[in-house]
Amino acid sequence: MKIAIASGKGGTGKTTLATGLAHLLSAHGQSTTYVDCDVEEPNGHIFLEPRIERSESVAIPVPVIDHELCTNCGRCCEICRFNALACLPEKVLVFPSLCHGCGGCTLVCPTGAITESPRAVGVVERGSAGDLGFIQGRLAVGEAMATPVIRAVKRAVPEEGMVILDAPPGTSCPVVETIRDVDWVVMVTEPTPFGLNDLKLAVGAVRKLGLTTSIVINRSDVGNSGVEDYCKEEGLDVILKIPHSRTVAEAYARGEMPVLTVPGYADMLETLADAVLSRMMEADKR
């Protein structure tokens, strides 16, 4: 069973919740893997302190033009949505850093002038933190193509057992790639105008993908009632409210998992763990 911990807004507590939930499920004897899909800034490792056992490079295929064969027809530039190729009056230039590696240019080239060369954009690392499986993607510094790294991370995810995917913030391609095939999306938000604005966008994305979602309101006693009102209007299931706590923030700042060091925190997250386990049992019955 795959569960994504997502949010519209950044900094709402995805990683705190994802690492905490993964830890609890593992402690309940569930075979669980924590997967950090926030490849631009993976930080789950700071809290879980995993031992990395394998590291694989992720590469995307970028075009290489054979200028002897190129007739300068311009079709490669027409098909490239990312402007990674420039068709000048006398030659074609390639900008590898803009290329998403879709292979479209290679397909449409009528003279076979384009071959593909791999360009490393990141790594997938696998390991374990005690009984908990650990996988993370890391986008190379200076690179912009997060999605191919996330795709590679997801290929490494085990078929069996419980999988907790820590999603990137936002609603763009990296988020879609992370959540597209999960069984349940748990959205973490905060009761502020920013939290609400980004929650609406994220709920829109999740609904478009036809996924089921539940909401966790973090720091639930700050801000205003906008998020709760919205959830009521939209019929969204608010599964957990976590009150603001300076102790939790301090633990986080020390790189600790609040679930381990802050009294009462684990009990709150148990609500979520129970919901996950009952969903899993339902799925098994079916």
Partner 1 sequence: MRIAVTSLGPDMTSDVDPRFGRARWFVIVDTETGESEAIDNQSGVGASSGAGVQAAARVAGLGVEYVLTGHCGPNAFRTLTEAGVEVITSVKGTVKDAVGKLKSGELSPADAADVNGHWS
Could you list the residues that contact partner 1 (CB under 8 A)?
77, 81-91, 93, 95, 98, 144
Residue 190 one-letter amino acid: E
- Closer to partner 1 by Cβ: residue 85 or 123: 85
| Min CB(143)–partner 1 separation in Å | 13
Q: Which of 196, 280, 183, 191 is nearest to 241 (CA)?
A: 191
- Closer to partner 1 by Cβ: residue 144 or 281: 144
| Min CB(93)–partner 1 separation in Å | 6
CA 5, CA 267: separation in Å to the nearest integer?
A: 19
CA 47, CA 45: separation in Å to the nearest integer?
A: 5
| Min CB(11)–partner 1 separation in Å | 23
Q: Which residues contact 39 (CB under 8 A, 6 or more apart)?
A: 122, 136, 137, 138, 139, 146, 149, 150, 153, 168, 174
| Min CB(92)–partner 1 separation in Å | 10
- Closer to partner 1 by Cβ: residue 82 or 204: 82
Q: Which of 141, 126, 169 is nearest to 35 (CA)?
A: 126
- Closer to partner 1 by Cβ: residue 76 or 165: 76
| Min CB(198)–partner 1 separation in Å | 20
- Closer to partner 1 by Cβ: residue 100 or 279: 100
